[in-house]
Amino acid sequence: MARDWAASARMADDYNGSAPVDDAARSIAHEFRRRALPPTSSATLTLLTELLRPASAIEVGTGTGTATLALLRGMPRSGTLTSIDPDGDAQEVARELIVHAGLAGHRVRMITGEPAAVLGRLAERSYDLVVVDAEPELTVELVPHALRRLEDGGVLVVSRALQGGDVADPAVRTPQARALRRMLRELGEQSGLRRLLLPVDEGLLVLRKGEGPSRG
Amino acid sequence: MDELALERTLRAVECIPAGQVAAYGDVGRAAGTSARFAARVLSLYGSTVTWWRVPNARGEMPPALAVRALPHWREEGTPLVGTDAGTGADRSPPRVDMRSARVDLPAFAASVEAALADLPEEDPDAP
C-alpha cells in the first residue's frame, strides 16, 4: 500500500504538470528555507479557486509565491487576493514571478507582517476563500481567525494539515503532530462546517462555512 | 488609481478598532491622502475592509449603507445618536455619535504608521 501510494503521488505530480514559473518559485523557496506547495496541491488549489470564483481571497504564507500563482490562475480578473507573510524579501520574489507568469492584471495586496496580527485586522465575514500555509503551531492558531473572515459558503484550505504522515501515525508524539490532531478533532466537532480532508502531498484540509444541504 | 495610495488607505481603515469610527478625513490624513480619495477607495474596494467604521464627519452614511452598517454597529457596541436609531423604516437613518465613537487621533495615527511600515515611500513602478 505504502509503495503504491508514493508511486501514485509521483504519477499525479507528473500528470498534473507544473509551469516553469512554478518550478522557479519552488526552487527559490529552498533558498529562503521555505516549503513550497507541490504540483498536485497547486493544481488542486487552482481548480478549487476556479470553481469558487472568489471576489476576495486571503493567502497566509506568500513565501516565494507558489500558492499565490496557483490562486491567481483560478481567480476571476475582478478578484482581489490579499497575501500575508512576515518575509518581505520572499514576497518580492513572488511579485516578480506573478509578472513573469502573466498574472499581473490581478489585484494583489501584499502585506508584510505577522500573520495573526494582520489577519486580525481584516474584516470578518468578507472573504470567499482563505488559504493557510504555515508551521503547525501557527496553523492551529490561525484557523479560527481564518474561519471568522469567511462569508457563509466561503472556503478555507489548510495546507500541510497532515504533516506528511506524522499526524496519521499514532507513534509520532511531537507537539506539532499532537496540535494538528487536536485541531482536526475540534474542527470535526464544530457545527456549521463542511469538511474534506485530502491526503494530497502533506495533506490538504478543505472547510466550507455553512450548514449546506441536509442529508435527509 | 495609485496602487500604493490605495493600499495605504485600506490599511488605515483596518486600523480603526471595533466599536469606533474614523471620518473620511481622519482616514485620509492618516494614510497621507485625502478625505475625497478615502471615500473613493471605500466606494470601490470597501467591501473587504471594515467600511462601516468610516462615516462622514457627522457620523452619517448614505441611507442604503447605514441600513447594512447597523448590525455591525450594534454588534460592536458603536455609540449611536438617538435612542430609537434605526428602529423604524420611516425614521431617518441611524448615525454614529462622533463625540464618543471617534478614534483617538494620535493613537490611530501611530497604529496606521506601524501598519504602513513595510510599504515603500513612493511606488517606483507607478505608471
Residue with cell 501514485: A8
Chain A closest CA to B23's CA: distance in Å?
A: 18
Asked if A105 reaches chain B (Cβ–Cβ under 8 Å), the answer is no
What is the predicted pLDDT for the residue at B83?
47
* Residue A216, pLDDT score: 43
Question: What is residue A180's predicted lDDT score, i.e. its pLDDT?
Answer: 96
Chain B: nearest CA to A16, how far in angstroms? 33
Q: What is the pLDDT of residue A3?
A: 67
Judge whether A126 is closer than 8 Å to chain B, CB to CB: yes
Whether the CB of A150 is below 8 Å from some CB of chain B: the reply is no
Is the Cβ pair B48, A127 closer than 8 Å? yes
Instruction: Give the closest-approach CA distance of B49 to chain A in angstroms.
Output: 5
pLDDT at A36 over 60: yes
Distance from CA of A20 to the nearest CA of B (A): 25
**To the nearest whole number, what is the mean pLDDT of chain A?**
93
Q: Please report, for residues A163, A205, B96, the alpha-carbon distance to residue A113 in angstroms, rounded to integers and kept in the order given.
A: 24, 24, 31
Residues of B in contact with A56 (CB under 8 A): 47-48
Instruction: Give the mean model confidence (pLDDT) for residues A194-204.
Output: 94
pLDDT in tens, A64-100: 999 999 999 999 999 999 999 999 999 999 999 999 9
Query: Looking at residues B21-30, what average pLDDT do you find?
Result: 97
pLDDT tier at B92 (50, 70, 90 boundaries)? confident
> For chain B, which residues lie within 8 Å of any Cβ of chain A, measuring from their own Cβ?
7, 10-11, 14-15, 45, 47-51, 115, 118
For a pLDDT cut of 90, what percent of chain B falls above it? 71
Of the two residues B60 and A2, the one the predictor is more confident about is B60
Of A112, A113, A126, the CB nearest to B48: A126
Q: Which residues of B fall within a CB distance of 8 Å from A119?
A: none
pLDDT tens track for B100-121? 999 999 999 999 999 999 888 7
Whether pLDDT at B90 is above 60: no
CA distance A29 to chain B (A): 21
Using the Cβ of A83 and the Cβ atoms of chain B, whether some distance falls under 8 Å is answered with no
Look over chain B and give the mean of its residue pLDDT values, rounded to a whole number: 88
Residue A160 has pLDDT above 60, yes or no: yes
Q: B127: pLDDT confidence band, cut at 50, 70 and 90?
A: very low
Predicted confidence (pLDDT) at residue A132 exceeds the cutoff of 50: yes
φ and ψ of A48, to 5 deg: -55, -45
pLDDT at B87 over 60: no
Question: In the predicted model, what is the mean pLDDT of residues B68-80?
Answer: 94
Three-class secondary structure assignment of chain B: CCHHHHHHHHHHHHCCCCCCECCHHHHHHHHCCCHHHHHHHHHHHHHHCCHHHCCCCCCCCCHHHHHHHHHHHHHHCCCECCCCCCCCCCCCCCCECHHHHECCHHHHHHHHHHHCCCCCCCCCCCC
Would the pLDDT of A46 be above 80?
Answer: yes
Confidence (pLDDT) at A212: 65
- How much is the ipTM here? 0.75
Percentage of chain A lying above the pLDDT 70 cut: 96
Which chain A residue has its CA at the smallest distance from B45's CA? A80
| Residue A38 reports pLDDT greater than 70 | yes
* Residue found by looking up cell 457596541 in the block: B77
